Amino acid sequence: MKDKATLQSINAAEEDPHTGLSKEALKHAFLDNLFYVQGKFPELATQHDYYLALAYTVRDRLLHCWISTAETYTRQKARTVVYFSAEFLLGPHLGNNLLNLGIAEQVRQVLPELGLIYDELLRQEVEPGLGNGGLGRLAACFLDSMATLEIPSLGYGIRYEFGIFAQEIINGWQEEKTDKWLRFGNPWEIQRPEWAVEIKLGGHTETYLDTTETMRVRWIPGWTVLGTPYDTPILGYHNNTANTLRLWKAEATESFDLGNFNRGDYYGAVQKKLVSENITKILYPNDEQIQGKELRLQQQYFFVSCSLQDMLRIMQVQEIPLTQFHEKFTVQLNDTHPAVAIPELMRLLVDEHAMEWDSAWAITQKTFAYTNHTLLPEALEQWPLNLFARILPRHLEIILEINSRFLNEVRIRFLGDTERLARLSLINEAGERYIRMAHLASVGSHAINGVAALHTELLKKDVLADFYTLWPEKFSNKTNGITPRRWLALSNPKLTKLISQNIGESWIKELSHLKQLEPFAEEPSFRSEWRYIKRSIKEDFASYLRHSTGYIIDPQSLFEVQVKRIHEYKRQHLSVLHIISLYHRMKSNPNKDFVPRTFIFGGKAAPGYYMAKLIIKLITSVGDVINNDPAVRDRLKVVFMPNFNVSNGQRIYPIADLSEQISTAGKEASGTGNMKFCMNGALTIGTLDGANIEIREQVGAENFFLFGLDADEVQTLKSQGYNPMDIYHSNPELKAVIDLISDGYFSGGDRELFRPIVNTLLQGDNYMLLADYQSFVDCQNQVGLAYLDTEHWTRMSILNVARSSLFSSDRTIQEYSRDIWKVNPVKIDLLTQEDVKKSMQAFL
């Protein structure tokens, strides 16, 4: 009789080496990949080799789903959602794929048998920094949800060689370091050189008569580059769907000039390669100089042209007529970065496929839908006409034609209203002429949506008001969401275990089931477990922080967190004013009791945004003074966590007691960090801005700390002639706080260092910090009192999680699918070996 170990080995041997899910099968596959893919044996292998062996073991199992999905979509000619985004901030793949495959526990058991540590291997993965923040993270959540909901989809973007910069804090200042995320390769992608496409740039256009004596336009490019696709599988949670993220890399059509080389011109021999590859070299090159603007426009056009040509190839493979392009594909524009896709599709249909203008325009409008992500006028993308003409001469002609036809419609509808014509025009004629990309996206799309209830209303009333008057039926709201797989199940395993033990695991895929947690908020024993887990998570973080940064923090203190892009409208410096007020009170009343607080900041400032960088310096300088003052350092700590990214976010969101969402009302489109904190049990202190409004409605006003002016009050106060100096002189505590900054207390006596911040606050205060200061401080006093009542605080924390289901990206995607995309789920059955044989026989 065979023993248990022998039987396991036999069973493992019988399993497919690439798809088997048993412990033994996974172990054999892992060792095979170490040997045959990495070319290493244990004595020579590094931790990174072991990570790659595990990654390839997981990828093998993904490929079965991936190929089965592609085969099903191709066979059924499935209607497909195409997501165009300049950013995809995916985060590390390995942990997420293990969770979605449902084999994390098997792998946890296998690795110790090999002398390896699960968490250590996961930490080896360098996350792809292909996004700046919320925009790219939202795109990643949407891909996850579409796969989980079995929605056929393709994500298209750019494979940046260097992603968002790595942030270091040196002497309190942000310094940018190159993000070399591809240095050790990327096991999750597959290069597809056979599907490369050629992209034209520059040059000029000329007219000609085709064979039917019809006048046509031909684009004669100044140069061309090659776009090569790299595919990454995006797996759904506990299903067989694996959709595709296809990212494009720019390459030279001829990478080496042998003639130049033989003449001794060694630089000239590779110049085309260097220039071409610059297009996808780095995420968001600094566009303060004209060269940076040109490169950004090239990036945007490059990836949408590659993608549209690829979509036409797919139609050809599936033998779908060109006239059904909008029936096969529905394209969502993630903000205006991909809006140049509208004239590019027109060019492909009219110039390359000889379609009549009206037919092509009807297809184009039915294909595209536009998501707006900003209310800030300076963030609404515009391109100078001269620059656009240099890079995309044919597209400028097409945009001018679109504009001419569109304005003719407006003239008929609004006779004599020349001001409306000027406001609606795709061309901004004030001073230097610019192309308004938000206008182009609005005209060329059949649907326009905002990303939170307030944001959508403000789009209708202000930013896109004239378009709403023209086409109210185009507008809808689609409040953002986040995937609960990464942002709770993966990032907060201890809380996930507690929730699942009490209500089951179905909530991971159907977040509305979290509602079943509500009754547990009334049970003292459950609240005790909840607090124990929260304390444990905070202790783990405190240990990590001490070893990684040297900060020493008290896990029993109130953790107040603000992590997001550093920007004046997000008002990290309002939090600093409150911190200084607490410090001032503690110094003035040394014997008074204060709730111990730890303030944790994180986020990157754009390299060219001086004020944002100065805010980081202010945070770190205030922290240096407070953290080294023996009179307060046990009660007040200030931490700036460098290089905030997805990996660090997974550490930070679970540890927060209080989430700061304190942007000026009417400035934040939505926010998703607020949702991540809420879903992990943090309470929110915030303004009525973005999705804060919906969070407060869902969790209950009594479980949300509200302060500040609302959007209408902000506008009213500004229209009445807001004067921040009046508030400065009438509020003694605020005056003392600002005077401490301006007198050099936090800058070693240097009165000039933070003068730009002080002057901005006192001489204009566009983001209304002083107007909201007292309300914020008063609300923070309420927070302190609430935190002292641990039972009530815990109850509020539980209810925040239980009532967070609206903020699942699954719900958002269901709304897009129903209202805009008109697409249905497609169930995937895994291909069997017999299916593969039949397919090959049919091919042969």
Q: Are 737 and 584 in contact (CB under 8 A)?
A: yes
CB 376 within 8 A of CB 569: yes
Exactly one of 79, 509, 570, 604 is catalytic; name it.
Answer: 570
Mark whether 373 is an active-site residue: yes
Contacts of 683 (CB under 8 A, 6+ apart): 657, 658, 659, 703, 704, 705, 783, 786, 793, 796, 797, 800
Contact 442, 464 (CB under 8 A): yes
Residues in Cβ contact with 203 at an 8 Å cutoff, skipping those fewer than 6 apart: 219, 220, 221, 222, 223, 393
Answer whether 674's CB lies under 8 Å from 684's CB.
yes
Helix (H, G, I), strand (E, B) or coil at 174: strand
Instruction: Using alpha carbons, select from 232, 179, 332, 189 the residue that is nearest to residue 646.
Output: 179
* CA atoms of 55 and 121, how far apart (whole Å): 10
> Which one of the listed residues 373, 439, 571, 803 is annotated catalytic?
373
Contacts with 259 (C-beta within 8 Å, 6 or more apart), sequence order: none
At 351, list the tokens. 């110039």
**Catalytic position from the list 159, 395, 439, 676:** 676
* Strand 197-201 with 166-170, pairing: unpaired
Tell me the C-alpha to C-alpha distance, in Å, between residue 298 and each of 280, 286, 586, 764: 9, 14, 54, 37
CA distance 827 to 596: 52
* 488, 679 contact by CB (below 8 A): yes
Q: What does residue 607 show for φ and ψ, rounded to 5 degrees?
A: -55, -30
SS3 of the chain: helix, strand, coil, percent, to 5: 55, 15, 30
Q: Which residue is catalytic, options 59, 564, 635, 696?
A: 564
- With CA atoms as reference, report the closest residue to 82 among 330, 335, 336, 312: 330
497 is a catalytic site residue: no
Give, in degrees to the nearest 5, the angle at Cα 391 between 332 and 302: 40
565 carries an active-site annotation? yes
Among 684, 579, 586, 573, smallest CA distance to 630 is for 586
From first CA to last CA, the distance across the chain in angstroms is: 46
CA-derived radius of gyration, the chain: 28
Out of 148, 456, 672, 687, pick the active-site residue.
672
Question: Which residues are CB-neighbours of 408 under 8 A, at least 6 positions away?
Answer: none
CA 248, CA 230: separation in Å to the nearest integer?
A: 6
Q: Which of 293, 534, 565, 613 is catalytic?
A: 565
Active site residue 672: yes
Helix/strand/coil (H/E/C) assignment for every residue in 781-831: HHHHHHHHCHHHHHHHHHHHHHCCHHHEHHHHHHHHHHHHHCCCCCCCCCC
User: Coil, helix or strand for 75?
Assistant: helix
Q: How many Å apart are CA 619 and CA 577, to the nearest integer? A: 10
For the beta sheet containing 434-436, the strands, ordered from the edge strand earlier in sequence to the opposite edge, are 382-384, 434-436, 427-428
Among residues 711, 142, 115, 203, the alpha carbon closest in space to that of 479 is found at 142
Q: Which two tokens stand for residue 303?
A: 């990836």
Give yes or no: 313 in active site. no
d(CA 371, CA 233): 24
- What is the number of alpha carbons within 13 Å of residue 549 lying toward its C-beta? 20
Active site members: 373, 564-565, 570, 672, 676
